[in-house]
Amino acid sequence: MAEILKGNAVVSQSGGPTAVINASLVGVIEAAQANPNINKIFGAVHAVAGMKADNFVDLTDIDAQTLEIVAASPSSALGSSRDKPNADYVKAIVEVLQARNIRYFYYIGGNDSANTCKIVNEEAQKLGYELRAFHVPKTIDNDLRTTDHCPGYGSAANFVARALQGDDLDNRALPGVKIDIIMGRDAGWLTAATSLGQQREDDGPHLIYFPERRVSMEKFVSEIKEVYSRLGRCVVAVSEGIKDENGVVWAKRIAEDAEVDAHGNVQLSGSGALADFLSSQVKENSDISRVRADTFGYLQRSFAGLQSETDVVEARETGRKAVEFSMQYESGSAIMKRVGNGDDYAVEFERTELKNVAEFTKDLPDDFINEAGNGVTEAYKAYARPLAGSLPKTEYLANRDRA
Amino acid sequence: MAEILKGNAVVSQSGGPTAVINASLVGVIEAAQANPNINKIFGAVHAVAGMKADNFVDLTDIDAQTLEIVAASPSSALGSSRDKPNADYVKAIVEVLQARNIRYFYYIGGNDSANTCKIVNEEAQKLGYELRAFHVPKTIDNDLRTTDHCPGYGSAANFVARALQGDDLDNRALPGVKIDIIMGRDAGWLTAATSLGQQREDDGPHLIYFPERRVSMEKFVSEIKEVYSRLGRCVVAVSEGIKDENGVVWAKRIAEDAEVDAHGNVQLSGSGALADFLSSQVKENSDISRVRADTFGYLQRSFAGLQSETDVVEARETGRKAVEFSMQYESGSAIMKRVGNGDDYAVEFERTELKNVAEFTKDLPDDFINEAGNGVTEAYKAYARPLAGSLPKTEYLANRDRA
């Protein structure tokens, strides 16, 4: 337990935006406003870049009405950054913090951000400058360790679940093969969430591929053909991080092939390449005529006005808890522990050491992936349903008995 | 005015699904259930294909609770078809209608569907079989003539407006050039709707390109560079039907180039190609390092649980009105006339001849496109806002005064 420390605070947001990272921001601001040990509340613009360049906005007196709109807005309201600070960078940050008498540092982000928190904290200690550094978890990838799940995941899960509900009905109406590419380079958490809206036994996605399971092009195409011959259609969700039988990321292989093959202006780079490549593979190796592919892209993390009701509440509370914990501890991350499931779903908030979040990431566990490596288990759905929040019920009429 | 005709009815859905085509279906069903001249109500499965193959479900006694879920479900609940019936096909359809004593035919679709209605009606007349054939307009493309707007457009407009609200905030957080490809091969109506969520003066999309205005690659790249140098970022909405300075569709040119260039497995076909091509052009012809592109794809028409509140009400009423009009007229289409705007927005429903909808389509009018050919006018926004329905208000904090 550390002693009570008085001074100013700074909050900032790092990495890829989410639908609820601003709810965490508001949680930090409102708890800081109510806290007698915190004087001024600064927002660092564009994360560590703003902290280094002394680029701040004053959030001390921001009104509650504006905060409610911020909490409902997607993306990072203070701007973000992909910078990874080195030693000199961190030194410059601590100098700025000292000059502004900032004693509380709240950093909303993924595991890299937890690491930044850690090294800023260590640098301050080295200089004998008393600083509390707290990490506020966020990521649509859901791949942070120690916490049960990450703020941001539930809303992105809700988005992809709705997207697949709609896309599956679209595929029933105009049958064929449909391939959807889902975000998540290293872990299949978000791709798994495409299953959450399934109601009927033959609802898609019928096949789901994760970075955690290698898949050869032969397996991919033959499994699609099997579903298509059985149902007359097939909807497939594929993680952008899908790997071939040798563990090589497909998207990387395609980009390299394209560079070698390039003869004119056309380059195979950018987000649509994997979708188009997989689609052409199915067309070439089957007699299925209607094959389509979509890459969901940034919509998954920054669609306006779509938040999981669980996620937005938890994201805000995570921000509040970080402020609360920073009154008791030098540093840490505000994580969630699940204490109830199903209808009794509930979480408790805990403080953990920064290193427990900063190092390594978390793959989908084996019991969340089916034996064939092409779908999820009921255990996954039970885990994820409360996080994604409510999904619409849908009806399809063409599967009724013929008159 | 035709005499009252008693018999069975059939309803079906054609072409690309929308978020509210099922609301129109429910409008037809509930009005037919309440109509004393209609006995059985059949749903033809997969549109004209089902009518030809005698593939029907019985919707006569479907309960109101199920209908409410159908009305809220995206895509076409009876399945769809892209078939364009020839003379023999139409003859086969009329034989099936006769065998089932179907006297009322309701066809929900675009201008091709209005044409199908027309030729089925003409074939029935030729055979002396009394039939009422009514078209119920739908299309996210909003390109039908005579009607003020089309059911389906408002919900798709709401989707792309929210998508760009989020994407613009994402681009503020992590600045660069972002290109979004929007559906609409022949007309720019849906691409124009990407502007509807703009609140701040510098909100994106900063540039919008339509099929109605030719754009050379030089103009495209230089306009992006101009915005980028001014704002430090640039969000661009591009219709998939964008044409070059000679009127050639860019997507078509790319597909042809790719076939000529192909040396291996990699083919440049499918939905991501245009986005990736435009993105590579900007990268090659500027020193902007962060350039990203997304193709929104089928999400625009079939995302679950997102309907414009105006659109879903009008779509359902359009279905009801088609049944009402079919009691008075041999054939026709149920269209909307705008009788109030802004806060007094209102429509009236009218019956028009099938030929007024079946022939030709409707481009964005000149006064909806700005002089530079790269954005919309206030006149467009005044037209489209009531159709798209409510959009979230958002906040961004990093543009506040520096502290």
* pLDDT digit string, tens, across residues A264-300: 333 333 468 899 889 989 999 999 989 999 999 999 9
Q: How many CA atoms lie within 13 A of A142 on its CB side?
A: 23
Q: How far apart are the first and last CA of chain B?
A: 74
B389 pLDDT higher than 50: yes
Nearest by CB to A402, which of B55, B178, B269?
Answer: B55
Contact B177, B229 (CB under 8 A): no
Strands B331-340 and B346-352: antiparallel
| CATH T-level topology, domain A7-139+306-358 | Rossmann fold (3.40.50)
% chain B with pLDDT above 70: 96
> Who's near B8: CB < 8 A, 6+ residues apart?
B38, B39, B40, B41, B42, B100, B101, B102, B103, B104
Which chain B residue lies closest to A23 (C-alpha atoms)? Answer: B395
Min mean pLDDT across A355-359, A380-384, B24-28, B39-43 is at A355-359
Shortest CA distance to A131 belongs to which of A164, A108, A109, A99? A99
pLDDT at B295 over 60: yes
pLDDT at position A267, please? 37
Quick check: A321 and A349 in contact, CB under 8 A? yes
Angle formed by the axes of helices A378-388 and A153-173, to 10°? 110
Q: Which contacts of A123-126 are long-range, i.e. CB under 8 A and separated by 24 or more positions?
A: A123/A87, A123/A90, A123/A91, A123/A93, A123/A94, A124/A94, A124/A97
Judge whether B177 is closer than 8 Å to chain A, CB to CB: no
CA dist B63 and B45 (Å) reads 19
pLDDT band (50, 70, 90) for residue B185: confident
Query: Could you give the C-alpha distances from B125 to A328, B88, B358, in angstroms and in order?
Result: 85, 15, 18
Closest CA to A131 of A315, A354, A335: A354
Q: Catalytic pick from B141, B168, B180, B311? A: B141
Q: Rounded to whole angstroms, what are the CA distances from B115 to A275, B51, B112, B148, B356?
A: 35, 16, 5, 19, 10
Contact at CB, A397 and B58, closer than 8 angstroms:
no
Q: What pLDDT, in 10s, does the model give residues B343-368?
A: 999 999 999 999 999 988 899 999 99
Q: Are A395 and B70 within 8 A, CB to CB? A: yes
List, by residue range, all CATH 3.40.50.450 domains of chain B: 7-152+306-358
* Closest chain A residue to the Cα of B50, Cα to Cα: A398
Residue from the list A58, A197, A258 with its beta carbon closest to the beta carbon of B304? A197
Question: Which DSSP symbol is given to B86?
Answer: -
| Distance of residue A1 Cα from the nearest chain B Cα, in angstroms | 32
In angstroms, the separation between the Cα of residue A325 and the nearest Cα of chain B is: 25
The pairing of beta strand A346-352 with beta strand A331-340: antiparallel
pLDDT at residue number A255 = 73
Cross-chain Cβ contact A173/B74 below 8 Å: no
Greatest distance between any 2 Cα atoms in chain A: 82
pLDDT of res. B251: 85
Average pLDDT over residues B49-60: 98
Give strand pairing partners of B177. B234, B291
Q: Which of B45, B167, B394 sits opposite A398 (nearest CB)?
A: B45
Q: Which residues contact A94 (CB under 8 A, 6 or more apart)?
A: A120, A123, A124, A127, A129, A131
Per-residue confidence at B272, pLDDT binned at 50, 70, 90?
confident
Q: What predicted TM-score, i.e. pTM, was given to this entire model? A: 0.96
Count the residues in chain B.
403
**What pLDDT score does A340 carry?**
96
B89 — contact with chain A (CB < 8 Å)? no
Task: Please name the residue that has the structure tokens 């005044």.
Answer: B382
Please write the tens of the pLDDT for every residue from A196-237. 999 999 999 999 999 999 999 999 999 999 999 999 999 999
- pLDDT at res. A260: 46
Which residues are bridge partners to B249 per DSSP?
B243
Interface probe, candidates B29, B281, B395, chain A, greatest A C-beta count within 10 A: B395
A316 touches chain B (CB under 8 A): no
The Cβ-side half-sphere exposure at A327, using a 13 Å CA radius, reads: 12
> Which residue among B162, B261, B397 sits closest to A77, beta carbon to beta carbon?
B397
Q: What is the mean pLDDT of chain A?
A: 94
Q: Enumerate the CATH 3.40.50.450 domain ranges in chain A, comma separated.
A: 7-139+306-358
Token output for B359: 């022939």
**What residues contact A293, with CB distance under 8 A and at least 6 apart?**
A178, A179, A180, A181, A275, A276, A278, A279, B270, B271, B272
Nearest CA to A157 out of A18, A16, A335 is that of A18
Cβ within 8 Å, pair A293-B272: yes
Q: What share of chain A is helix, strand, coil (3-state, %, to 5)?
A: 40, 20, 40
Per the prediction, chain B carries an average pLDDT of: 94
Nearest CA in chain A to B290: A270
| CB contact burial B74-97 (16+ within 10 A = b; e otherwise) | bbbbbbbbebebeeebbebbbebb
Are residues B266 and A279, on separate chains, in Cβ contact within 8 Å? Answer: no
For residue A261, what pLDDT is reported? 41
What pLDDT is stored for residue A375 in this prediction? 98
**Contact call for A266 and B267, based on CB within 8 A:** no
**Of residues A24, B156, A343, the one with CA closest to residue B164:** B156
Query: Which fold would CATH assign to domain A153-304+365-388?
Result: Rossmann fold (3.40.50)
- pLDDT at B256 exceeding the cut of 80: no
To probe the interface with B, which of A75, A180, A263, A289 has the most B CB atoms within 10 Å? A75
Chain region(s) in chain B for CATH 3.40.50.460: 153-304+365-388
Chain B residue at shortest CA distance from A158: B304
Mutation to test the A interface, candidates B397, B400, B402, most A Cβ within 10 Å: B397
A96's CB contacts (< 8 A; 6+ apart) are A51, A52, A54, A102
SS3 content of chain B, % helix, strand, coil (to 5): 40, 20, 40
Cα(B144)–Cα(B117) distance, integer angstroms: 15
Q: Which residues of A touch B277 (CB under 8 A)?
A: 265-266
Six-digit token string for B89: 């096909």
Q: Does residue B377 sit at the A interface (CB-CB below 8 Å)?
A: no
> Is the confidence at residue B264, as pLDDT, over 80?
no
Does B351 contact A at CB distance below 8 Å?
no
Of the partner residues A174, A304, A305, the one whose CB lies closest to the CB of residue B80:
A174
- Give me the pLDDT at residue B2, please: 54
Residue A244 distance to chain B (closest CA, Å): 16
A217 touches chain B (CB under 8 A): no
User: DSSP labels for A212-230?
Assistant: TS---HHHHHHHHHHHHHH
Q: Does B348 touch chain A (CB under 8 A)?
A: no
Output the pLDDT for position A271. Answer: 63
Instruction: Judge whether A372 is closer than 8 Å to chain B, CB to CB.
Output: no
Q: How far is A213 from chain B (nearest CA, A)?
A: 24
d(CA A402, CA B163): 39
Closest of A60, A70, A56, A14 to residue B398, by C-alpha:
A56
Is A231 within 8 Å of chain B by CB? no
Partner B contacted by A113 (CB < 8 A): no
pLDDT band at A258 (very low <50, low <70, confident <90, very high): low
Closest residue of chain B to A53, computed from CA coordinates:
B402
The three-class DSSP label of residue A111 is helix
Residues of chain B positioned with their CB less than 8 A from the CB of A178 = 298
Residue A164 pLDDT level (bands cut at 50, 70, 90): very high
Provide the pLDDT for residue B271. Answer: 63
Nearest CB to A400; choose among B57, B284, B393? B57
> Mean pLDDT throughout B262-279?
62
Which residues in B lie closer than 8 A to residue A22 (C-beta atoms)? Answer: 395
B170: alpha, beta or left, given left = phi > 0 and alpha = psi -120 to 50?
alpha
pLDDT tens-place string over residues A102-115: 999 999 999 999 99
Q: Residue A113 CB: number of other CB atoms within 10 A?
A: 26
Interface contact A402-B74, CB threshold 8 A:
no
Query: In chain B, how many H helices and how many E strands?
Result: 14, 11
- Tell me if chain A has a CB within 8 Å of the CB of B163: yes
State the pLDDT at residue B34: 98
Note whether A190 and A231 are within 8 A (CB). no
Q: Are B325 and B353 in contact (CB under 8 A)?
A: no
B141 tagged catalytic: yes
d(CA B32, CA B11): 10
* pLDDT, greater one: A361 or B148: B148
- What pLDDT sits at residue B267? 37
| Confidence grade of residue B245 (pLDDT, cut at 50, 70, 90) | very high
Distances (CA, A) of B304 to A165, A167, B163: 6, 8, 15
- What is the architecture, at CATH level 2, of domain B7-152+306-358? 3-Layer(aba) Sandwich (3.40)
On the question of pLDDT at B258 being above 90, the answer is: no
